[in-house]
C-alpha cells in the first residue's frame, strides 16, 4: 500500500478534530498537539523513505533488500554522512540498481552486519562509560568517608594524584554537596585540595601537586564551597594560598631537563601568582 502524503494525513486528522465539540478548548488544544506530532513524525518518515529511494514499485522487492535500504537511510540520514558515504568511503549501496542474485544478497548482509557492529560498539562504549562513572563515584565516596587525613591523602594520591580526572571531579562534587552530611574532617580535606598540603604533628606534608596551591580554581567552584565551610574559612585558605606557584612538576633528583630547568631553577614562564579568590571584588583567582 503506498504511503500517504502529509496532506492526506493532515486532512484525516482535521476531519477527526471537527467531530469534537467546538466549545471544548481543551479538546481542540489536544487535537492541535496531536496534529503537530503526526506532521513531525511523517516528515521524518518521508525523509527516510526518500533517502532510501523507496517508491510504490519497490514494495514488491525482497523484504531483506527493503530492510537493508531502510537501515542505510537511517544510518546516513544526515546530509554530511550521506555525502561521505557516497563520495569518500563508498559505503552506501544503491539497491535501486540491483539484481536478484548472490551479489545482492551479499551486499544486504554486509550492510546489516556493518550497522549491527556500529550499534554494538556504541552500546559497549556506553556500558563501559557507565561502569567507569559508577567506579569513580564509589572511589570518591570512599575517599570522602575516610576517618583521618592520612587515609584521605593516601587514597587521593592513589586515585587522583593531580587535580583532574573523573575521580577528582566526583570527589569535589561530593565534598561540596550539602545533602551529604557527617563527612569526617570535611574542612581539613577541602583545605588539602586547595592548598595541596596538610599539617600533622607540627610537620607539613604535601601529597598533592608538591604542596602547590590550586591557582587555577574557578570562581564558580569557590562559591560552591562557601555554603559548605563558610566564607571565613575560605578567606583563611585564600590567604594561605597567596604565593607564586609553579605549574610544572620537575624530577625530584633536581637534574636539569633538556631546556635547562629543574626544581632549583624552574621556568619562570610556568609560574603563576595567586592573587586571591577576590570575594570583595567578585572575581576569581588571578593568573
Between 113 and 46, the more confident residue is 113
pLDDT at 102: 77
pLDDT band at 20 (very low <50, low <70, confident <90, very high): very low
Q: Which CA distances in Å does 88 have to 82, 85, 118, 120, 132?
A: 10, 6, 19, 24, 35
69-96 average pLDDT score:
79
150-162 average pLDDT score:
91
**pLDDT for 8 beyond 60:** no
**Three-point CA angle 137, 138, 139, nearest 5°:** 95
pLDDT band at 215 (very low <50, low <70, confident <90, very high): confident
**205 Cα distance to chain centroid:** 35
Beta strands in the chain (DSSP E): 198-200, 203-205, 244-246, 271-273
138-146 average pLDDT score:
93
pLDDT band at 146 (very low <50, low <70, confident <90, very high): very high
**Three-point CA angle 262, 161, 247, nearest 5°:** 35
pLDDT at 14: 47
B/e letters for 130-147, b = 16+ CB within 10 Å, e = fewer, are eeeeeebbebbeebbebe
**pLDDT for 204 beyond 60:** yes
Contacts of 257 (CB under 8 A, 6+ apart): 250, 251
**pLDDT for 56 beyond 80:** no
pLDDT band at 284 (very low <50, low <70, confident <90, very high): very low
Radius of gyration from C-alpha coordinates of the chain: 31
Listed range (192-201, 223-232, 265-274) with the worst mean pLDDT:
265-274
pLDDT band at 282 (very low <50, low <70, confident <90, very high): very low
Between 88 and 141, the more confident residue is 141
- Grid coordinates belonging to 275: 592573587
Give the span between the Cα atoms of 110 and 71, in whole angstroms.
Answer: 11
pLDDT band at 261 (very low <50, low <70, confident <90, very high): confident
75-90 average pLDDT score:
79
* Number of other CB atoms surrounding residue 15 within 10 Å: 9
pLDDT at 129: 87
Between 247 and 208, the more confident residue is 208
pLDDT at 155: 92
Amino acid at each position: 500500500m503506498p504511503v500517504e502524503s502529509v496532506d492526506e494525513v493532515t486532512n484525516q486528522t482535521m476531519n477527526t478534530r471537527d467531530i469534537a465539540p467546538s466549545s471544548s478548548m481543551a479538546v481542540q488544544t489536544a487535537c492541535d498537539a496531536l496534529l503537530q506530532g503526526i506532521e513531525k513524525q511523517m516528515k521524518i518518515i518521508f525523509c527516510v523513505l526518500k533517502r532510501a529511494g523507496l517508491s510504490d514499485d519497490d514494495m514488491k522487492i525482497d523484504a531483506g533488500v527493503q530492510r537493508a535500504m531502510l537501515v542505510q537511510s537511517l544510518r546516513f540520514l544526515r546530509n554530511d554522512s550521506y555525502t561521505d558515504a557516497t563520495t569518500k568511503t563508498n559505503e552506501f549501496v544503491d539497491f535501486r540498481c540491483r539484481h536478484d542474485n548472490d551479489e545482492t544478497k551479499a551486499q544486504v548482509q554486509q550492510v546489516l552486519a556493518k550497522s549491527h557492529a556500529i550499534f554494538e560498539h556504541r552500546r559497549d562504549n556506553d556500558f563501559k562509560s557507565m561502569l567507569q562513572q559508577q567506579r569513580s563515584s564509589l572511589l570518591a565516596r570512599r575517599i570522602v568517608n575516610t576517618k583521618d587525613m592520612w587515609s584521605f591523602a593516601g587514597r587521593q594520591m592513589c586515585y587522583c594524584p593531580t587535580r583532574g580526572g573523573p575521580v577528582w571531579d566526583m570527589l569535589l562534587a561530593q565534598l561540596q554537596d550539602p545533602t551529604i552530611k557527617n563527612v569526617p574532617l570535611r574542612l581539613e580535606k577541602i583545605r588539602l585540595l586547595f592548598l595541596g598540603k596538610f599539617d600533622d604533628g607540627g610537620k607539613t606534608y604535601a601529597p598533592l601537586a608538591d604542596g602547590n596551591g590550586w591557582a587555577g580554581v574557578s570562581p564558580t567552584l569557590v562559591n560552591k564551597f562557601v555554603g559548605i565551610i563558610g566564607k571565613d574559612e575560605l578567606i583563611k585558605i585564600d590567604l594561605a594560598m597567596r604565593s607564586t606557584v609553579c605549574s610544572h612538576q620537575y624530577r625530584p633528583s633536581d637534574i636539569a631537563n633538556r631546556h635547562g630547568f629543574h626544581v632549583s631553577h624552574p621556568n619562570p614562564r610556568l609560574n603563576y601568582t595567586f592573587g586571591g579568590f577576590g570575594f570583595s571584588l567578585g572575581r576569581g583567582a588571578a593568573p
